[in-house]
Amino acid sequence: MTLQNRNTRAYQIWRKAVKSNLYFSLFALSLFTLVACTESFEDRCRREAREYTERQCPRLIDQYIVMDSMTYEDEPQGFTYHQTVQGELDNDSLLTPEAISTFQEELLARIRKDINLRRYKERGFTFTYRYTSASTGKLFTEVSFGPEDYEK
């Protein structure tokens, strides 16, 4: 097909197809922009947490910790990471005050350094970590970090 002969049937079909694709692309882009603009930051956080859970969880963090899910919370605004402790760490006697304190310091250091959390930290999000025993299903510990912690 040559494009020089604009009166041919093939050219007319090709032109119509290109025009249809262009209109569809513009429509899809407009619809995407409209949806993206109407989704609130909170709704986006809720959706991102749900999608992360669906795609990434359960996820083995290390040999002792499995990330089960991530949820968005309205009050206090932030994310909660639901994790299960297994293996040798799944033992109440290991949760001494010193061990918990050291663990909290390490988590806080990670939050302070994580550039992926910047937009959430700028909005004053709270990051909560819930650790549940794999053997008993009971809550081991829960730690939360708000702006008063990670902005120091």
Q: Would you list the domain boundaries of the chain?
A: 1-38, 41-150
Is the Cβ–Cβ distance between 123 and 77 less than 8 Å?
A: yes
Task: Indicate the CATH number of 41-150 among 3.40.50.410, 3.40.50.620, 3.40.50.2000, 3.30.300.250.
Answer: 3.30.300.250
* Cα–Cα dist 75/104, whole Å: 21
Mean pLDDT value of segment 96-108: 88
pLDDT digits (tens, 9 = 90+) for 41-60: 999 999 999 999 999 999 99
pLDDT range class, residue 99, cuts 50, 70, 90 = confident
pLDDT digits (tens, 9 = 90+) for 22-37: 444 444 444 444 455 6
Host H or E run for residue 91: none
